[in-house]
Amino acid sequence: MKVLIQRVKKAAVDIEGKNYSSIEKGILALVGIEKGDTLEQVEKLARKIVNLRIFSDENDKMNRSLIDVQGEMLIVSQFTLCGDCRKGTRPSFDKSAPPDAANELYEKFIDFVNSYDIKTSTGKFAAMMEVSLINDGPVTFMLEA
């Protein structure tokens, strides 16, 4: 499992030219599910992300978590995170989980984040989406399980 997170001032998902979801201050999480990923890994990364101290305190130090700042999270499925570009010029997606398994773990990730009382919005699994954001920093981290 790979999750690319970006601290944002706001972010949104549009589908077919219409707003599907949006958030204000918080985290945009792009989630890639790989073959062999487990529910335990999903839960661990959800817990890690909501508690990761990437927001500034009164001294402008990264000391506050998403929970601390009462931020929001926009969670978007992103199977291309699992792409392997080491050989040739066309990515291989052999490591990506099959759609049914990926969607099940993606939905569980959303449930785990929601269990922390985080205001959560999502993309639409397997849809063509336009994701827009205003980076805050920019602050970007890749987490893997």
Local structure of 111: helix, strand or coil: helix
State the average pLDDT for the chain. 97
Residue 140 designated active-site: no
pLDDT tens-digit series, residues 108-143: 999 999 999 999 999 999 999 999 999 999 999 999
Contacts 24+ apart (CB under 8 A), 43-46: 43/108, 43/112, 44/145, 45/1, 45/3, 45/109, 45/143, 45/145, 46/109, 46/112, 46/113, 46/116
Which domain does 62 fall in, by range? 2-144
pLDDT value of position 6: 98
Options 80, 120, 122, 140, the catalytic residue? 80
pLDDT value of position 13: 98
pLDDT tens-digit series, residues 61-105: 999 999 999 999 999 999 999 999 999 999 999 999 999 999 999
pLDDT value of position 142: 98
Provide the domain count of the chain: 1
pLDDT tens-digit series, residues 25-67: 999 999 999 999 999 999 999 999 999 999 999 999 999 999 9
CATH of residue 18: 3.50.80.10
pLDDT value of position 24: 97
